[in-house]
Amino acid sequence: MKKKVSSDASSAGRPSTRKSQPRSSSAAAPSPADKAINFRVRVARERRARMRARLLSATMDVCAVATSQGPAVIDDVIRAAKVSRGTFYKHFDSLEQALVELGAKLADETVDGLRTMFEKVDDPLHRTASGPQLMMIHAIVDPIWGRFVAHTDHLTSESAFISAIRENTIVGRERGIFRYSSLEAAIDLQFGSTREGVRHMITARADRTGYMQDLCAMNLMALGVTPKRAVAAVRSASDDIMLRGPTSLTWWKPF
């Protein structure tokens, strides 16, 4: 019996007469003109980001010394950034808008640094003993940052930084480590004493370590921690910071 040869098999050796389906437009490679447009858009976006960062840096510089020379104004910022007034207004509607964005940026950066340090630390006591020390050390190695934090209120709003303090303080009470009636008072205590510590570090030269450890221990005792436990927690946190800070924090410098 002869085998029936399928039409597919019989046509295997012949060129296909079937027309190929056109590729979808989404799969088509971008034209040279499209590439040029995309490149210009990317360059413009990067240039805008650099200018915005430059204006924020100038804002921090002038506001860090504003208390001794009067309130900062837009003219101070554009002079420090070496740009025109029109350039400033292309990015910000007012100096206050720039300050709000700068405060949020610093808050986010501070929280990112704390998260890096405490990623594997599930201990509210250790975090509270470490946080103010890290802020004060940051002020020592970057006095301009420290003066901005100490002399403006733009880090005290409901920022990521305040949220991190709030969360840690609540967890500490839930675990029986902290004792307080008013959560807002506990948060204000921690941030207020930390900001005063930052202010002190800008000008202090003697016994910085002793000051930092005493301030942090007093913080813990005010939150209901026993003196012995508070002192031990602060010393342990200090040792941990000196061990891991240089490799964990982007802003770290020897001090």
CA neighbor of 107 nearest in space, from 57, 151, 157: 157
Give Cα 35 distance to the centre of its chain.
34
Residue 25 is encoded by which pair of tokens?
Answer: 């437009």
Note the pLDDT of residue 225: 98
Q: What is the mean pLDDT of residues 155-172?
A: 82
Residue 215 is encoded by which pair of tokens?
Answer: 């301030």
Residue 40 is encoded by which pair of tokens?
Answer: 């210009």
Cα–Cα distance list, 45 to 31, 34, 50, 89, 227 (Å): 21, 16, 9, 17, 54
8 Å CB contact between 196 and 218: no
- Which string of DSSP letters, residue by residue, matches 200-235? HHHH--S-HHHHHHHHHHHHHHHTT--HHHHHHHHH
**Cα separation, 210 vs 222, whole angstroms:** 18
**Cα separation, 135 vs 15, whole angstroms:** 75
Portion of the chain with pLDDT greater than 70, in percent: 81
8 Å CB contact between 149 and 132: no
Note the pLDDT of residue 63: 79
Helix (H, G, I), strand (E, B) or coil at 3: coil
Q: What is the mean pLDDT of residues 44-66?
A: 85
8 Å CB contact between 143 and 202: yes
pTM of the model: 0.72
- Which string of DSSP letters, residue by residue, matches 110-138? HHHHHHHHHTT---HHHHHHHHHHHHHHH
Note the pLDDT of residue 129: 96
8 Å CB contact between 198 and 219: no
Q: Which of 112-116, 221-225, 242-246 has the lowest mean pLDDT?
A: 112-116
Where does the pLDDT of residue 28 fall: very low under 50, low under 70, confident under 90, or very high at 90 and above?
low
